[in-house]
Structure 1
Amino acid sequence: MKPYYWESQHGNFGDDLNLWLWDFLLPGFRDAHPDTLLVGVGTVLNTALLPEEGRKLVIGSGYGYGTIPDMRDRERWDVRCVRGPLTAERAGVSPDMGIVDPAVMVAEMPEFKGLAKRHRKSFVPHWETALAGVWPAICERVGLHYIDPRGEARSVIREIAQSETVIAESMHGAILSDAFRVPWVAVSTSRSINSFKWNDWARTVGVRYAPRRIPVSTRAEAKLKGGRFWGMAFQGEQTASVGDPNSRIIGEDVLVAASNPRHTTLRVAAKHALALPSTFALWQASRDEPQLSSDSVLFDRKARFLAVLDGVRRDYF
């Protein structure tokens, strides 16, 4: 069995954790049923992403983009559970199968238990926001620890667990915060942030997705997301297909913003001045009342997910 996940060309910890999470949840799965693809963490129930051929075992995946596959053929699809009730509805399966995002189980791994707190408040942007913005500098100005979602997944998760509060634009930033019992605040810099998948997860643990809007921090970021920057509107750098985020065209100015080119003092000052609305909005968000799912609800969802894993072990091992 081989794990399937969407791989961002720039890196995204919420998808990359598939590389090792399933070895913890289903030890030995790689040696069983080589013809089966394990479809796990991520918004990957999408015909533009999943290969047509082969048998697929779906455990906790979500829908959110493009066209959802027809999963009625039981010879090709074994759907054990999906991320939440919204995905279950789109997939045409029982609402009871919308259990939770499997990433919550990362908190059960011994290597992440008992970590000391190191960061009072942290900000985890969406990977696109990290790619094109000047958020590390903004975080430094408002006293937040910046966590780059493009980093190595274990390191990113450790930083989340070691925070006392998290401001999350990344959905998995919020999911992992909630799993580690770290209160979190949702924010959004763009209409392209997928509220469907956020609400899909939020309903499973009884929290509310009502993000505070944060302006984009650079012209490059506005151009990438199809937003506005100081009154100027931009169309998003998109191809005709919305199925695979890797198909998005990334302009040269975005790459320049991400690669940290040599700046003059004047240029740095100008960028900081232009980012003042973003700075103030993020500072306000850091002072919002954070939320957290109840211990009992999260425990129940984990128990239901573990029951699904028990069924998979019986049938596949």
Structure 2
Amino acid sequence: MKPFHWESTHGNFGDDLNLWLWDFLLPGLRDVHKETLLVGVGTVLNTEILPDEGRKLVIGSGFGYGSLPDMRDTSQWDVRSVRGPLTAEKAGLPAAMGIVDPAVLVTEMPEFQNISKNGKRTFIPHWESAAAGLWPEICKTVGLSYLDPRGEAKAVIREIAASELIVAESMHGAILADAFRVPWIAVSSSRSINSFKWNDWARSLGVTYQPKHIPVSTRAEAIAKGAKFWGVGFERSNLAAAELGKQRYGENVMLADPEQTTLRVMAKQALAVPSALGLWQASKAKPQLSKDSALAACKERLLSVIEGVRRDYL
């Protein structure tokens, strides 16, 4: 059995944790049922993402983009749980099968336990924002630590767990923060942020998704997201978004501009002042955290599902 990993050029820790989480939860899974694909963490219940061939075992995946696969053929689909109630409803499944995002079980791994706090208030953007925005510089001006979601998954998760507060445009930034009992504040810089998947997870734990708006920080970011920048509206450019996807961890289209000069950098930073103000104001909002009992109950239910998979497959 092979865990499905939506592999991207840019990297995204919320997807990349599939590379090792399932080996912890289901030791030996790669040695059995070679014909089965384990579909786990991520918004991957999409006909354009999943391969047509082969049997799929679904544990905690979510819907949010494109077309939902027809999962009624039990000879090809073994659906044990999905991310939340919205995915369950969309797929025509019992509400009880919408348990929680499996990423919450990262906290069960010994290497992520007893992580010391570093006192940081951390901003983790969406990967598109990381690739096209001036957020590292903005964070310096508003007293936040910047965390690139395209970094190595375990390193990103340790930083989340060590923080005192997470300001998250990245959904898995909030999911992992909540799982590690780190208060979090949701923010959004454009309508391209998928609210369905956020609400799917949030409702599974009884919290609400009411993101604070922060303006995009650059024209390139506005073009990629179809957002406004200094009052000028831009249509989302799929080509621009695709180019951002080629930027790897630590890379940024603004910083990579060969024509950058000190004056141009200063001008871009001046244009990003509304973004800095928006992020600073958002960081002062009241943070959220699901109830301990709600998180514990969801984890217990999901672990029960995984125990059933262990009995049936291993």
**TM-score for the superposition, normalised by structure 2:** 0.95
Aligned to 2:264: 267
Residue 120 of structure 2 corresponds to 120
The equivalent residue for 1:280 is 277
In the alignment, the residues of structure 1 paired with residue 306 and residue 173 of structure 2 have an alpha-carbon distance, to the nearest angstrom, of: 24
Question: 1:296 and 2:287 equivalent?
Answer: no
Secondary structure of 1:256's aligned partner: coil
One-letter identity of the residue aligned with 1:303? E
Q: Which amino acid aligns with 1:136?
A: P
Q: Which runs of 5+ in 2 are unaligned?
A: none
Shift of 1:238: 2.0
SS of the equivalent of 1:257 reads coil
Identity %: 67
Q: CA deviation at 1:263?
A: 3.5
Question: In 2, are the aligned partners of 1:237 and 1:251 still within 8 Å (CA)?
Answer: no
Cα distance in structure 1, aligned partners of 2:122 and 2:33:
41
Name 2:25's counterpart in structure 1: 25
Aligned AA for 1:216? V
Map 1:27-46 onto structure 2 (within 5 A).
27-46=27-46
Instruction: Give the aligned partner of residue 243 of structure 2.
Output: 250
Task: Name 2:94's counterpart in structure 1.
Answer: 94
Q: CA RMSD in A?
A: 1.6
What is the one-letter code of the residue matched to 1:2? K
Structure 1 residue matching 2:254: 3-state secondary structure: helix
Moved more, 263-272 or 117-126: 263-272
Q: Which residue of 2 aligns with 1:214?
A: 214
Corresponding residue number in structure 2 for 1:198: 198
Q: CA offsets per residue over residues 222-280 of structure 1, 9 Å max, x none?
A: 010011111211111127xxxxxxx953279x963253657322122111100000000
Consecutive unaligned residues of structure 1, counting only runs of 5 or more, are 240-246
State the alpha-carbon separation in 2 of the partners of residues 37 and 229 from structure 1: 42
Task: In structure 2, give the amino acid aligned to 1:314.
Answer: R
Aligned residues: 309
Whole-angstrom CA distance in 2 between matches of 1:74 and 1:300: 28
Report if aligned partners of 1:119, 1:145 keep a CA contact under 8 Å in 2. no
Q: Which residue of 2 aligns with 1:167?
A: 167
The match for 2:65 is 65
Amino acid at match of 1:213: H
Cα drift, residue 179 of structure 1? 0.2
Match of residue 242 from structure 1: none
Q: Matches of 1:2 and 1:259 in 2, distance apart?
A: 37
Name the SS of the counterpart of 2:238 in structure 1.
Answer: coil
DSSP-derived class of the 1:33 partner: coil
Contact map agreement 2:142 2:276 (CA 8 A) in 1: yes
- Post-superposition CA distance 1:51-108 (Å, at most 9, x none): 1110000000000000000000000000000000100011111110000000000011
Aligned partner letter, 1:256: V
SS of match in other structure, 1:215: coil
**TM alignment of 1:179-198, pairs within 5 A:** 179-198=179-198
What are the Cα deviations for residues 146-176 of structure 1, in whole angstroms up to 9, with x where unaligned?
A: 0000000000000000100000000000000
The TM-score, its normalising length taken from structure 1, stands at 0.94
- Which residue is equivalent to 1:148? 148
Confirm or deny: 8 A CA contact 2:131 2:253 kept in the other structure: no
CA contact (8 A) 2:225 2:241 kept: no
Change in Cα spacing, 1:261 to 1:21, as seen in structure 2 (3 Å) is farther
Q: Flag the 1:183–1:260 CA change in 2: closer, same or farther, 3 A.
A: farther
Distance 1:289 1:173 in 2: 17
Q: CA deviation at 1:32?
A: 1.0
- 8 Å contact 2:26–2:310 — kept in the other structure? yes
Aligned partners of 1:124 and 1:166 also within 8 Å: yes
Q: Which amino acid aligns with 1:269?
A: M
The letter for the 2-side match of 1:159 is E
Determine helix, strand or coil for the equivalent of 2:164: strand
Between the aligned partners of 1:135 and 1:84, the Cα distance in structure 2 is 31
Change (3 A) 1:304 1:261: farther
